[in-house]
Amino acid sequence: MHGSQKLPALVESIYDAGLDPSLWNDVVAGVRDFVGGQACGLFSKDAISKSGVTHYYCGADPHYIQLYAETHAKFDPLSVLPPHGRIVSIPDLVNFDEYRRGRFYQEWMQPQGCRDAANVVLEMSNASCPVMMTVLSGRRMVDRGMKQRLSLLVPHASRALLINRAMTAQLTLATALADVLDNLAVGIFLLDGVCRLVHANSAGQILLAADDVVRSVAGQLVTSSTEANQVLRKAFAGRGDGAPLAAGGDAIPLLSATGERYVAHMLPLSSLLRDGNERVADAAGALLVRKVSLGGQSCGELIARTFELTPAERRVFLSIVEVGGVPETAAALGIAETTVKTHLHRVFAKTGVSRQADLVKLAAGFANPLVH
């Protein structure tokens, strides 16, 4: 069942599994056949609790895989794990006669028709719970030939698992960042060197669907302002050749058809994004578009807690910010101007500012950036 002529194809399949973990089931079957065992598995072994979890396997009854996880992992001879990359059989770990009288052999190995096993630690990124491979032999002992054949595969399997871990970490990070971006109230658009749309977060998709302040035309992002479009294209021009983004922190004013005001900011990027069709898109920069708004009740509640404003002072504060001066606030709230002035002076004292314009700036600083 084994032979060196299968080695190149098996090594190739191992690296394929490094890129696509679903292929590990085929790999362990190939390892079993190449090494010459009865069963093979890829599992994690907790060095402290001695518990074990089998991730991929072949040649074993699922019932015994479950028994291993529930009961027998703590009885197997791997009470002390071997050094990384070293292949050990059961006689290398314990007295073989004592092992044959123990529960692990009597209840787990022998009922499966197995006698010995070759074990090796493949990956130790998590030192307390390394990933191991085991090849169970049948009625014969693990011999030098089996260990030699397994040793030809160990470096490749170890590298493939490191690739798995690195890809998983990157995917986890990308997913977390995507979740964060999708919870921002600011529309974020990733653009290439000619302002083609590479990606938009949820808020950006909502702005595009409204087809007002920004829209997608033949794949390019276009704003409601001709001047803003010229600024964007000038800023992004030449980015395909590695030139820096021409514009940075300057704000670009935008006005919707309904008179609502927005502001946009450009941010340079130097990353490659891959879309679902496996095409690489060069994201030259990001355009951040937000509606000019103070956040209303949400920022008012936070400011009231921060500066210990009374409910009346909070209402006056928000009215000054959102409606206007003292006369407008008095009319909006249905109270006397003298009452508004009294509350306003108290707000000034508590917040440490002395002008109504400063209250507007203060409220803007407390605006909630999240979708609400």
| Structural domains of the chain ordered from first start | 4-167 (3.30.450.80), 184-291 (3.30.450.20), 296-365 (1.10.10.10)
Query: For every residue of 16-29, which 3-state class applies, written as one string?
Result: HHHHCHHHHHHHHH
- The rounded distance, in Å, linking the Cα atoms of 169 and 191 is 25
- Of the ranges 21-25, 250-254, 288-292, 301-305, the best mean pLDDT one: 21-25
Please indicate, yes or no, whether the overall pTM of this predicted structure exceeds 0.85: no
Residue 123: which region, alpha, beta or left (left: phi > 0; alpha: psi -120 to 50)? beta
250: pLDDT confidence band, cut at 50, 70 and 90?
low
152: pLDDT confidence band, cut at 50, 70 and 90?
very high
Q: Which residues contact 230 (CB under 8 A, 6 or more apart)?
A: none
What is the pLDDT, as a whole number, of residue 339? 94
Mean pLDDT, the chain, as a whole number?
Answer: 85
92-126: per-residue pLDDT in tens? 999 999 999 999 999 999 999 999 999 999 998 87
